[in-house]
Amino acid sequence: MSHAVETPLPAAIAAEYPFESRFLEVDGGRMHYVDEGPRGGDPILFLHGNPTWSYLWRKLVRELRATHRCIALDHIGCGLSAKPADWRYTLAAHAENTLALVERLDLERVTLVVHDWGGAIGMSTVSRASGRFARLLALNTAAFPGAMPLRIRACRAPIVGPILVEQFNAFAGLLPRFGLAEPSRLTPAARQGFAFPYRTAADRRAIRAFVEDIPTSSAHPSWKELGSASQAVARFVAKPVSIVWGQRDWCFTPRFRAQWQSRLPAANVVPVEHAGHLVTEEAPSEVEAELRALLAR
């Protein structure tokens, strides 16, 4: 494993993300991750979705690393990880890479924290090694089929989709506007932080691939994998689970929260009425408080 980040982070980003960069060679290249905090106790594994990166978890890692081991990775094609042009950007591939890190670090009794498509990746990982996971915190996420908003359908349209997402940055570039209930809550430094890994069209290959890999029918190559992920949710029925949900999310609407609740009826649920998709940005104290409560259960 290498411990040197190839491109130094701008000072404003490094100030909010003051973590040592680590890398693991996986299918697709070097996968970046951070591993902060004491090695004793139950670890926390944070999985981001699209179009974010481990920067999403910076506030939680900063607050919890004094007492808990916090691991946050960047999926291949995202963040500070390798961004190959011709890799198989699929749900199964991301889950296999996540499992490779879990096994490399020999993580047990993991508290899994997922957001956006990190829920599907996380549950696909659980389907491969459920015995390693002890708790779950779900934040505006899914691990099962759902209605696809028009904005996302437009980004996966043939010919037009790649141009919108890669050339015009119509997905990652709009995150500050559509990812929050009140965009003004995102600081200039945070705007820079979320955008930093996706500055060029080539950097956005994974963002487009994530959109294209959302299964909408049984004919889709990742449909079966999503089915396995959905079934794996049931492995948390008898384990501590919390759900914190930004209620003003146009993509992962409260209907998705209701689906999590129907599958995990004993979960502790915290709806956040003033927050949108990036609930960690608009309600960091609520998320941290619920995660600490979950860790104590």
- What pLDDT sits at residue 147? 64
Mean pLDDT of the chain: 93
**pLDDT tens string 228-277:** 999 999 999 999 999 999 999 999 999 999 999 999 999 999 999 999 99
* C-alpha 227: how far from chain center: 19
How is the chain split into domains, by residue range?
11-296
Q: What is the mean pLDDT of residues 155-184?
A: 82
Q: How confident is the model at residue 225 (pLDDT cuts 50, 70, 90)?
A: very high
* pTM confidence score: 0.95
- What pLDDT sits at residue 89? 97
- What pLDDT sits at residue 1? 41
CA count, 13 A, side-chain hemisphere, 104: 16
**pLDDT tens string 27-60:** 999 999 999 999 988 999 999 999 999 999 999 9
Q: What is the mean pLDDT of residues 177-201?
A: 96
Instruction: Determine the residue type at 53.
Output: W
- What pLDDT sits at residue 148? 62
**pLDDT tens string 66-123:** 999 999 999 999 999 999 999 999 999 999 999 999 999 999 999 999 999 999 999 9
Percent of the chain with pLDDT over 70: 93
- What pLDDT sits at residue 2? 38
Residue 59, SS3 per DSSP? helix
Q: How confident is the model at residue 174 (pLDDT cuts 50, 70, 90)?
A: confident
Which of 148-183 are b and which e, b meaning 16 or more Cβ less than 10 Å from the residue's Cβ? Answer: eeeebeebbeeeebbebbbeebbbbbebbebbbbee
- What pLDDT sits at residue 3? 37
| Residue predicted with more confidence, 130 or 1 | 130
Q: CA 196 → CA 51, 79, 170, distances in Å? A: 11, 8, 15
Q: Angle between the 118-128 and 223-232 helix axes, to the nearest 10 degrees?
A: 70
- What pLDDT sits at residue 153? 62
Superfamily of domain covering 11-296: Alpha/Beta hydrolase fold, catalytic domain (3.40.50.1820)
DSSP string for residues in 253-284: -HHHHHHHHHH-TT-EEEEETT--S-HHHH-H
Q: Cα–Cα distance between 101 and 105 in angstroms, integer?
A: 6
**pLDDT tens string 4-34:** 345 689 999 999 999 999 999 999 999 999 9
- What pLDDT sits at residue 149? 64
Q: Cα–Cα distance between 207 and 171 in angstroms, integer?
A: 8
- What pLDDT sits at residue 171? 82
Residue 53, SS3 per DSSP? coil
